[in-house]
Amino acid sequence: MKEDFDLSKRAFEIIPAFISWSILLIFVLFAFLRPKVYALLIITFDIFWVIRVSYLTSLLSFAHHRLNKEKNKKWLSLCMKLSDPRSQKIYQAVIFPVYKEGLDVLVSSLDSLKNTNYPKEKMIVVLAFEDRIRDSREKAKVLESRYKDSFFAYLSTFHPDGIAGEARTKGANATWAAKILKDFVDSKGIKYEDVIVSCFDADTCVEKEYFGCLLYHYLTVYKPLQCSYQPIPVYNNNIWYAPSFARVIEIAASYCQLIDSMRLEKFVTFSSHSMSFKTLIDVDYWPVDKVSDDSLIYWKAYIYYNGDYRVVPMYITVSMDVAYGRNLLQTFFVQYKQKRRWAWGIEVFPYVMLNFKENKLIPLEKKLRKTFHILDSHISWATWAIILTVISPLMMLFSSYLFKGTVIGFNLPRITGVLFSLTNITVLLWMALSLTLLPPKPKELKFRARIKIVTQWLLVPIIMTIIGSTPALDAQTRLALGKYMGFSYTEKKRNRF
Amino acid sequence: MEQKIREILFYLSIILFFILVPVILLYSFGYNLDINRLRIIKTGLIYVKSIPDRAKVYLNGRHINKTTPVSIEGLMPGEYKLSLELENYYPWYQEVEVESGKSTTLDDIILFSIKPHLDKINISNVDDFYIFSADKDYAYCISENKTAIYRTRLNPKEKEASLLCNQLLLPDNIKDFSLSPDKKKIFYFYGNRLDVIYLASEKANHQQIKNNNFPIITNHRIVNAFWYSDSKHIVIMTDKDIKIYELISEDKDNIITILNINDKHPKAFYNIAEDILYFTDVQEGSDGKLHRGLYRLDISKRSLLTFIKDIEENIK
């Protein structure tokens, strides 16, 4: 039985990379063996891509519009107006899994909690340190002295290293902290369903109305226990100081979340997210042996509730740090590793498939849709930029040989060129939208910083070529080869690049 | 509401995709709608590029409202009369065959000007000129009265000419001129006479330039002559033999005959980089008959050294 399970698991680990590599190889092989079929494929793909990007850009505009509309809402007042007795009872528990983040990063995150308008006597803050990190206890002591009286409870937890069955992941640390939080909640006689737990990256800074917004959604959605609550992550903490290259990539990441917030059937938890504490306990916390704890918690709950679980988008931002290095090359590697870690989210595929196989209560149609969504997003990610920016232009070099003296040989470069340019036009809209998501320019920065933040979008074709698909293809290939990734820490910087 | 709009957009995108794909694919592969017969036909195209560009394009005598470079698409298979017109240039015309699904590329059309650009590159009067491979940037000009040789750059912007030699009396029947590889001497020949002229440097005072003419007279008609790579020897080919003439000093010389030949009108090519002479000659074959053949005479320094080495090895 176990052997069957292992074999199925390996098969599901191989499938995404197999499909991605097959797509890429099909394009290259057809180019040389059946050039006309290649031309047909590449034109069809380009049309598909132009329409898809236009469609996604329109979703982005809708989501962006919604974000702007809800920006100034007084969520907490709206909660009071609901006259729901639960609104007085709900505790907000926030877990910050900490690795090597410095005090400057942690203080700004905790200060942002302190500055929220949510009643502090209903807030529990858990700083989840890794015991193996040398200065964890010193940092905990400093922070405790500063924040212990700021909230209903302020807890520091120290996740021991080497617990059987655990990997060195953020999820393992968060789970350890959540279990200690459970003991605390039990000791205070608080019901689990009266606690909303948020698991935030250590650099996450929330807006003043964040918990009001979270409470409002918790009180108003259908089956609140069967929902995760997802804010829109933006990377504004240090965006004015980050290099253009990294800024564009992180803004694009925010855009992906905004787009997915409009596609609820595809929407899964990402990075900082919130959920009912009861649900967290029921689904047995975050996974302790996987890197992608943020998305896997959604899938755990989805399977636990037999497909009756969803992610509710909250059009309120949480701000995090842009990851970058000391120079452009280091920034490239930092970004590449971070994106590869995100793309490692494909590890949910075997987990979901194996559980779908076991679970007979989830309708087949739902299973098929979810399977398609996982594969679609990860395989598109691993292939589109390579097809558009590497295979297509490379084949143009051989076009005079492949399509000698034919109408298609003459038309192909022109048509693919026009379609690619149409895709790039959407970049103008992304640029315009990005300006409205920006925090105010720090006074010490000159006007040219503003010019750079506009012109940085010219880098999009280069970024697409070098970091568009390769991290995802890399992650899928590693999974297929059984070279499992561990959690890689992304250094947080607040100083100028 | 947003979800409703999103759904509409989603289905519109799908519809758009299924409309655009066949339309763009058919267009890309050269298919066109024949409105008269209401059917789709496979067409061809002509791509025309000219130097200079912006020429008006006429197809079967009709102006197509486009200028070069241009691709004329959607053409039914068949023969077309293609012509290009550009003001102040000679028109261009060609009959072009168009095949279905094929592109006919005409990207090497040159339109020649009606008013060609003419420049005088020399300030002096010229009777004749030579451009030597040893000095390709210059023309060596013979003055109108055939008494002087000038050198002038082949660039109309630099019209200055420098006098290399005067007080000459060049005959009318000169067969050829040749510049030495060191660019310091010129020889010319006619009949059985070859004259070497020592050229003055460009910096030389014109007053000092005089006739440095040293004639070599052979017993036979000179057919061809070549500079040896060291610029100190001349290979002279007469209708009887091949001689090597050594320029010892301006008033001394040395001449040897290295080979007798039978061909009265030998053709010859001298490879100055390797000092090898290729020539035709008539020799008696094994059948006792005379055959005209191509011969190779290696007179390079390297071959002479090898020859000595071979003799030494034979003696041993």
Largest CA distance in chain B: 112
pLDDT of residue A215: 96
Cβ–Cβ under 8 Å, residues A454 and A319: no
CB contact under 8 A, B101 and A405: no
Q: Is the pLDDT of residue B205 over 50?
A: no
Cβ–Cβ under 8 Å, residues A464 and A471: no
pLDDT of residue A282: 96
Question: pLDDT class for B208, splitting at 50, 70, 90?
Answer: very low
Side chain identity at residue B168, one-letter code: L
Tokens in use for A416?
């693919």
What is the mean pLDDT of the segment spanning A13-35?
Answer: 95
Q: Is the peptide bond before B22 cis (omega within 30 degrees of 0)?
A: no
Residues A165-209 have pLDDT tens digits of 898 999 999 999 999 999 999 999 999 999 999 999 999 999 999
Distance (Å, rounded) from C-alpha B273 to C-alpha B275? 6
B174: closest CA among B140, B208, B137, B203?
A: B140
CB contact under 8 A, B103 and A48: no
Q: Which of A45, A407, A410, A426 to mutate to test the interface with B (most CBs of B within 10 A)?
A: A407
Tokens in use for A483?
């070279």
Q: Which residue reads 């149609």 in tokens?
A: A365
Name, in order, each residue with C-beta under 8 angstroms of A123's C-beta and a sequence gap of 6 or more: A91, A92, A93, A94, A113, A116, A151, A152, A211
CB contact under 8 A, B103 and A409: yes
How many Å lie between the alpha carbon of B46 and the closest alpha carbon of chain A? 9
Q: Is the pLDDT of residue A3 over 80?
A: no
Q: How many CB atoms are located within 10 Å of the residue A364 CB?
A: 9
Residues A351-375 have pLDDT tens digits of 999 999 999 999 999 999 999 999 9
pLDDT of residue B125: 82
pLDDT of residue A111: 96
- Interface predicted TM-score (ipTM): 0.85
pLDDT of residue B309: 58
CA atoms within 13 A on the CB side of B48: 30
Q: In this structure, what are the phi and psi dihedrals at residue B102, rounded to the nearest 5 degrees?
A: -115, 155
Nearest residue on chain B to A38, alpha-carbon basis: B25
Distance (Å, rounded) from C-alpha B7 to C-alpha B20? 20
Question: pLDDT class for A345, splitting at 50, 70, 90?
Answer: very high
Interface residues of B toward A, Cβ cutoff 8 Å, are 2-3, 5-6, 9-10, 13, 16-17, 20-21, 24-25, 27-30, 43-45, 47, 71, 73, 101-105
Nearest residue on chain A to B1, alpha-carbon basis: A62
Question: pLDDT class for B289, splitting at 50, 70, 90?
Answer: confident
What is the mean pLDDT of the segment spanning B290-307?
Answer: 82
Question: pLDDT class for B210, splitting at 50, 70, 90?
Answer: very low
Cα–Cα separations (whole angstroms), residue B161 to A474, B157, B214: 70, 12, 25
Q: Is the pLDDT of residue A481 over 90?
A: yes
Distance (Å, rounded) from C-alpha A352 to C-alpha A367? 9
Instruction: Give the DSSP per-residue string, A73-103.
Output: --HHHHHHHTT-GGGGT-EEEEEEE-SS--H
CB contact under 8 A, A410 and B101: no
Distance (Å, rounded) from C-alpha A372 to C-alpha A328? 37
Distance (Å, rounded) from C-alpha A385 to C-alpha A474? 14
pLDDT of residue B211: 46
Residues B177-195 have pLDDT tens digits of 999 999 989 999 999 999 9
pLDDT of residue A438: 84
Collect all residues of chain B within an 8 Å Cβ-Cβ radius of residue A411.
27-30
Name, in order, each residue with C-beta under 8 angstroms of A214's C-beta and a sequence gap of 6 or more: A92, A196, A198, A229, A274, A314
What is the mean pLDDT of the segment spanning A308-332?
Answer: 90
Q: Is the peptide bond before B52 cis (omega within 30 degrees of 0)?
A: yes
How many Å lie between the alpha carbon of B160 and the closest alpha carbon of chain A? 49
Question: pLDDT class for A106, splitting at 50, 70, 90?
Answer: very high
How many Å lie between the alpha carbon of B75 and the closest alpha carbon of chain A? 11
CB contact under 8 A, B25 and A54: no
Q: Which residue reads 């809209």 in tokens?
A: A429
The 8-class DSSP code of residue A388 comes to I
How much of chain B exceeds pLDDT 90, in percent?
52
